[in-house]
Chain A
Amino acid sequence: MARSDDVSSLKPFLERLLSRSKLSPVECEAILGLPAHERIFEPHRDIGRLGDNRSHSSLVLKGLVGRFMQNSRGDRQLTALHLAGEMADLDGVVRPDIMYGLEALATTTIAQVPHQALRAMAQKHPAIAEAFWRESASDVINLSRWALHLGRGSARTRVANLLCEMAVRMGSVDAPRLEFSLPLTQDQLSDATGLTAVHVNRTLKSLREEGIVTYRLREVRISDWEALAVEGEFDLSEFNR
């Protein structure tokens, strides 16, 4: 494990917090001063195993992380995707025995931030505690939407909603990114949408043939954002909170 004293590694996390919360210069400095240990994970490696008792939270600096649960047959269900700048398991600060696992979906750089430091900072700065709370609320909103579509949504809705979510999170609510890399394998896309690989292929094919979106060689190109949002039953207001 390499230690990094480069405070800038926390900068993407600070920017993410500031996009939702107001923090004073002192509070911003406190976040930038958090200890961070950088590690690189190859694709398909578990960053945090199921049932691990963790002592740190994982900030994604580069790459893509999947949060997952797994049943007794070994089938995985991805329950969230985490992009650069996001703390994948911030809730671990108060629940270090967190049950879900984290997997590097691409070559991923993680800054491991000790729970102890995060907890001490939140206790000292109530505004930071509230910002963390807001991050967790955002996670719950995303998870609730995934649960809705996994339980009730059609294949088209699931796939389209996932692509809409990524477009907004990589861009913004006002300007979703219409072209981006999403380095998911066929199996990982299946694990995210709860569909078989063949069904995912069919769904992407139909969306492509209708001129809505193409997803090939792990590159997404959205041709018709409005149509994709309708197919995905995607509600932008969920991302304004």
Chain B
Amino acid sequence: MLFFFHLAGAVCDPDDEGVELATISDARIEAVRLASGMLRDRPEMVWLGDEFRVEVSNEDQLLLFTFIAMGVDTPDGKELA
């Protein structure tokens, strides 16, 4: 099955190539691994004021699931920032 891994939110970058994976479970794992790899390179992305999302669709452009990472300040934390 062909899955497309679109970046949305803090970084917007649609996937127009896709990757062949056996099952939707594999795609779920791949989405988290992609997010962890990208956040490893640019951890500041979750503090840009918007969430970091990986939205995964199939060949019919049907959105299957979304993985979201975000940093949230408490009111006290905001005051100290």
CB atoms of A198 and B5 under 8 A apart: yes
- Give A202 to B7 CA distance when docked, in angstroms: 10
The answer to the question of A95 belonging to the interface, with a C-beta cut-off of 8 Å to chain B, is no
CB atoms of A199 and B37 under 8 A apart: yes
Count residues on chain A whose CB falls below 8 Å from chain B CBs: 12
- Give A199 to B15 CA distance when docked, in angstroms: 11
CB atoms of B30 and A196 under 8 A apart: yes
Residues of B7-56 contacting chain A, CB below 8 A: 7, 13, 15, 17, 19, 30, 33-34, 37-38, 40-41
Residues of A166-200 contacting chain B, CB below 8 A: 186, 195-199
CB atoms of B19 and A186 under 8 A apart: yes
- A189–chain B nearest beta-carbon distance, Å: 12
Chain B residues whose CB sits within 8 angstroms of the CB of A196 once the complex forms: 30, 33-34, 37
- Give A235 to B59 CA distance when docked, in angstroms: 42
- Give A83 to B30 CA distance when docked, in angstroms: 31
Chain B residues whose CB sits within 8 angstroms of the CB of A201 once the complex forms: 15, 17, 19
Q: Chain A interface mostly helix, strand, loop or mixed?
A: helix
CB atoms of B41 and A197 under 8 A apart: no
Residues of A194-212 contacting chain B, CB below 8 A: 195-199, 201-202, 205
A204: nearest chain-B partner, CB-CB: B17
Chain A residues whose CB sits within 8 angstroms of the CB of B34 once the complex forms: 196, 198-199, 202
Count residues on chain B whose CB falls below 8 Å from chain A CBs: 13
- A154–chain B nearest beta-carbon distance, Å: 4
- Give A201 to B38 CA distance when docked, in angstroms: 12
- Give A195 to B30 CA distance when docked, in angstroms: 11
Given contacts A196-B33, A199-B33, A202-B13, whether A154 and B41 have CB atoms under 8 Å apart is yes
- Give A198 to B40 CA distance when docked, in angstroms: 15
Chain B residues whose CB sits within 8 angstroms of the CB of A205 once the complex forms: 17
B37: nearest chain-A partner, CB-CB: A199
- B76–chain A nearest beta-carbon distance, Å: 33
Given contacts A198-B5, A201-B17, A202-B13, whether A155 and B41 have CB atoms under 8 Å apart is yes
- Give A186 to B34 CA distance when docked, in angstroms: 15
Interface residue ranges, B against A (CB under 8 Å): 5, 7, 13, 15, 17, 19, 30, 33-34, 37-38, 40-41
A-B contact pairs, 13 of them (CB 8 A): A155-B37, A155-B38, A156-B41, A196-B30, A196-B33, A196-B37, A197-B19, A198-B34, A199-B38, A201-B15, A202-B7, A202-B15, A202-B38
